[in-house]
Amino acid sequence: MSAPVAAIDCGTNSIRLLIARRDEASGTVIDLERRLEMVRLGLGVDRTGRFDPVAVERTLEAARRFRALIEHHGVATQDVRFVATSATRDASNRDLFIEGIHEILGIVPEVISGQEEAALSFRGAVSTVADLPAGPRLVVDIGGGSTELVLGEVTPTHRISLDMGSVRLTERHLVTDPPTAAEIDAAIAEIDAQLDRACAEVPLDQAASLVGVAGTVTTVTAVAAGIQDYRPDVTHGAVMTLDEVRGICRTLLAETRAERSLRKVIHPGRVDVIGAGALIWSRIVNRVSEAGTITSARTSEHDILDGIALDLLDRVP
How does pLDDT run along the chain (317 residues), one tens digit per residue?
689 999 999 988 899 999 999 887 777 889 999 999 989 888 888 788 888 899 999 999 999 999 999 999 999 999 999 998 866 777 888 888 999 999 999 999 988 887 888 888 888 888 778 788 889 999 999 988 889 999 998 889 999 999 899 999 999 999 999 999 999 999 999 999 999 999 999 999 999 999 999 889 999 999 999 998 899 989 998 999 999 999 999 999 999 999 999 999 999 989 999 999 999 999 999 999 998 889 999 999 988 899 999 999 988 66
Query: Which pLDDT does position 193 carry in this prediction?
Result: 96
d(CA 41, CA 144): 10
The alpha carbon dihedral of 192, 85, 20, 264 has a sign of: negative
Query: Which pLDDT does position 103 carry in this prediction?
Result: 96
Taking the domains of the chain in order of start, what are their residue ranges?
Answer: 5-113, 129-300
The alpha carbon dihedral of 248, 238, 264, 183 has a sign of: negative
Specify the CATH architecture of the domain 5-113.
2-Layer Sandwich (3.30)
pTM: 0.87
Two domains, one topology: 5-113 and 129-300: yes
Strand order in the sheet with 296-300: 156-162, 147-152, 137-142, 209-213, 296-300, 239-241
Protein fold of 129-300: Nucleotidyltransferase; domain 5 (3.30.420)
Query: Which pLDDT does position 88 carry in this prediction?
Result: 79
